[in-house]
Amino acid sequence: MEIRHQAVKEFALWIASNPLPGRHRRGSENTLKGYIGDLGLFANWFKQSTGLDLGAETLTPDDIQDYISHAQTVEGKKTATILRYFAAIRAYALYLLQTDERITSDLTTGIRLPRQEQATKRGLRRLERLAIARVFAVPWKNTEKAKQRLIRNKAIIFVGMFIGLRLDEVASLKLKDTYIIKNSTSSYIQVLEGKGNRVRTVGVPQKARDALLEWLTLREELKQEDGIEHDYLFTQIKKGYMPLGIRAFQRIAVKVGERARIEDLTYHILRHTAVRVWRKKTDDRTTAAQMGHSIATMQKYDALRESDVLEAASKF
């Protein structure tokens, strides 16, 4: 990541090895990269708007408020995006508070933010999950490569929908991380690159286990026939069999959603679905451990519809 502004460079060096106070304690590498990227956007806007370089001697609360208003009214950014921008700016403000004696208070105090939208992301319901399963009943094209892609794609989708791994965790999976045994509830996956660089062991429900076994069998056949020179679990289905990139996983989720007639399906929604499925089968503590989340965060993943309450009432 190229960093253009000196203030952002200094922040990036500091945050790489120092915790921030309060809620902004050191997070995952992806979180830190997000802070740096979003602070870079703010520094660009600040330079264009004021003609000044971002820094302790130039930044004021009014500038922060103007940027939030600009993002909301001029750029039309969604609330979630604006709150993400603000998190990066507040991290920078807290950094200044710790490192520059001229700063005696948090510059983000009192900043007016757009109201947080009610959670709308939710796990897929039973009929939607069945629709996704039907997508894999027949190959999308009548070719050998299409049949192979179907087996791979089913494993990718089922890992998200029933195990609940994050997109970057799935993309980083290697063969040595997977311990999949047919008809065995002892099957598990070691997630070595989870959020915050933690290591956790996750369970593998039967539907995901069956899909993974089918793909692992095919992958071994492809390795014997054509050679696969890496250990990543999921590969392209073409000569070279290179590891799949993040965008490839995203495209697969979108295409599966289109065929299942589910609008805007993302891999993150599949993770929400896993939360929903696990919470129906076990307790919140176990589900949180599976997902690599606190119980409070995990509960946000399974937003309710109004009809859910009505359906629950009908059972009394």
Q: Are residues 137 and 226 in the same domain?
A: yes
Q: How far apart are CA 109 and CA 103, in angstroms?
A: 13
In the chain, the number of structural domains is 2
Q: Are strands 188-191 and 200-203 parallel, antiparallel or unpaired?
A: antiparallel
Single residue among 83, 99, 115 that ends a domain in this structure: 99
Task: Tell me whether residue 116 is in a domain.
Answer: no
Domain CATH for 158:
1.10.443.10
314 pLDDT band (50/70/90 cuts)? very low
Task: Tell me whether residue 148 is in a domain.
Answer: yes
What are 127-162's pLDDT values in tens digits?
999 999 999 998 888 899 999 999 999 999 999 999
Q: Are residues 277 and 181 in the same domain?
A: yes
Task: Tell me whether residue 237 is in a domain.
Answer: yes
Domain encompassing residue 18: 6-99
CB contact at 8 A, 290 and 276: no
Domain CATH for 92:
1.10.150
Q: Are residues 134 and 253 in the same domain?
A: yes
Q: How far apart are CA 301 and CA 303, in angstroms?
A: 6
Q: Give the predicted TM-score (pTM) of the model.
A: 0.64
Task: Tell me whether residue 175 is in a domain.
Answer: yes
**What was the pLDDT predicted at 131?**
96
Q: Give the chain's radius of gyration (CA, Å).
A: 23
Task: Tell me whether residue 120 is in a domain.
Answer: no
Q: Are residues 281 and 138 in the same domain?
A: yes
**What was the pLDDT predicted at 216?**
95
Q: Are residues 192 and 285 in the same domain?
A: yes
Residues 6+ apart with CB under 8 A from 144: none
291 pLDDT band (50/70/90 cuts)? confident
**Taking residues 160-173, what's their average pLDDT?**
93
Q: Are residues 198 and 135 in the same domain?
A: yes
Task: Tell me whether residue 308 is in a domain.
Answer: no
What are 62-108's pLDDT values in tens digits?
999 999 999 999 999 988 899 999 999 999 999 999 999 999 999 99
- Secondary structure (DSSP) of 189-206: EEESS-GGG--EEEE--H
Q: H-type helices in the chain, by residue range?
A: 6-15, 29-50, 61-69, 79-99, 126-135, 144-158, 167-172, 206-226, 246-260, 267-281, 284-291, 295-300, 306-313
Q: Are residues 208 and 64 in the same domain?
A: no
Q: Which two tokens stand for residue 240?
A: 């070279």
**What was the pLDDT predicted at 80?**
86
**What was the pLDDT predicted at 24?**
52
Q: Are residues 85 and 130 in the same domain?
A: no
Q: Which two tokens stand for residue 91?
A: 């991290």
Q: Are residues 52 and 155 in the same domain?
A: no
Q: Are residues 144 and 252 in the same domain?
A: yes
**What was the pLDDT predicted at 298?**
59
Q: How far apart are CA 252 and CA 269, in angstroms?
A: 13
Q: Are residues 89 and 139 in the same domain?
A: no
Task: Tell me whether residue 189 is in a domain.
Answer: yes
CB contact at 8 A, 276 and 122: yes
Helix (H, G, I), strand (E, B) or coil at 218: helix
Q: Are residues 179 and 247 in the same domain?
A: yes
Task: Tell me whether residue 119 is in a domain.
Answer: no
Q: How far apart are CA 235 and CA 216, in angstroms?
A: 11
